[in-house]
Amino acid sequence: MTILDIHDTSTPISELVAKAAAGDEVLISKEGRAVARLISLPEPEPVVDRMKAFGMFRGRIHMEHFDDPLPEDIQRALGMTE
């Protein structure tokens, strides 16, 4: 852990951020009291590209009778016939 007094440091913020990104916790104090903590953030989870997701099963799923009418018992259960 790196502890710096805000008035005693001339370290550029870029160096402090680099330390935090490397896993070192940077504590900034003022008049002997901690006022800020600089830490690294966890790696974000990968985001699935939605456009790629739509086509991910292209050519893998085949529905031969997709447009065929439903069987009569299912039509009756759904109220599609009398």
**pLDDT-derived band of residue 57, with 50, 70 and 90 as boundaries?**
confident
For residue 61, give both structure tokens: 């799923």
Q: What is the C-alpha separation between 35 and 79, in angstroms, rounded? A: 67
DSSP 9-68: ----HHHHHHHHHTT--EEEEETTEEEEEE-PPPPPPPPPPHHHHHTTTTTT---TTTTS
Does the pLDDT value for residue 48 go beyond 80?
Answer: no
Would you say the pTM of this structure is higher than 0.75?
Answer: no
pLDDT at 51: 64
Over range 11-24, report the average pLDDT.
90
Q: Which fold has domain 2-38?
A: YefM-like fold (3.40.1620)
| Average pLDDT value for the chain | 86
Q: Is a pLDDT exceeding 80 seen at residue 50? A: no
